[in-house]
Amino acid sequence: MKKKAIILCSGGLDSATIAAIAIDSGFDIFCLTFDYGQRHGREIESARAVARLFNASKHVITKIDSSMFKGSSLTDDIPVPKDGAFSGVPPTYVPARNLLFISFGVAWAESIGARDLFIGVNAVDYSGYPDCRPQFIEAVSRAAELGTKCGDEGDPIAIHAPLSGLSKSEIIKKGVSLNVDYSITHSCYDPTQEGLSCGLCDSCRIRLKAFEEAGLKDPLAYVRA
């Protein structure tokens, strides 16, 4: 029987790539998506498409009370920056999001007997979120080891961040080599009602630049690109 792995699946480019990597590594995948009232709720549809594309054994979409996540452009009525110019942690940062997402994943992993969890964070071409850095992944791995029965028994849940050291264009090339169909993914923080990507938010900018650097055309439709 194949080993089980939890995939934290937002429906973005990164989570589609980690799903492909986990499948390529021989795992049976269990996708976990969060509905936290995010502005770009459109990504949940993409998460469904990713789970289908990779024949996930199960896909759970779980709600998180939106009162937990305040003060972010993605959850509140705060504009998403479109000028590509700021330093520090941007207003699209959502409080402790990856800590909470990983904790859910660790609980589900232990519940179903999985010992592997994949998260698509990367710290090269990213928005400067503190919870995407390798030091954070190391620290939360340690907390998960000490805070679970399986970890206590010497069989901890491994938290894999296989994209961590890759540039966005390297991630795309990796995914293409594993037949990821990026047309089903979604990255924009502020899509139109029809689902077109804005082309101007940080997430669109990073994505478009990466496709260009990879010498590929982004299959998504943009308002402006």
Element (H, E) at 150: helix 149-152
Q: Is 149 near a copy of itself (CB under 8 A)?
A: yes
To the nearest whole angstrom, how small is the minimum distance from the Cβ of residue 221 to a copy of itself? 32
For a copy of itself, the closer CB: 24 or 152 = 152
Q: Is 7 near a copy of itself (CB under 8 A)?
A: no
Q: How many amino acids of this chain bind a copy of itself (CB under 8 A)?
A: 45
CA separation for the pair 139, 225 (Å, rounded): 38
Q: Is 143 near a copy of itself (CB under 8 A)?
A: yes
Q: Is 31 near a copy of itself (CB under 8 A)?
A: no
The side-by-side arrangement of strands in the sheet containing 58-63 is 58-63, 28-35, 4-8, 116-118, 158-160
SS3 content of the chain, % helix, strand, coil (to 5): 40, 10, 50
44 token code pair: 């949940």
Q: Is 86 near a copy of itself (CB under 8 A)?
A: no
Per CB under 8 A, residues contacting a copy of itself are 60, 62-65, 67-71, 89, 93, 95-100, 102-104, 106-112, 130-131, 133, 135-136, 139-140, 142-149, 151-152
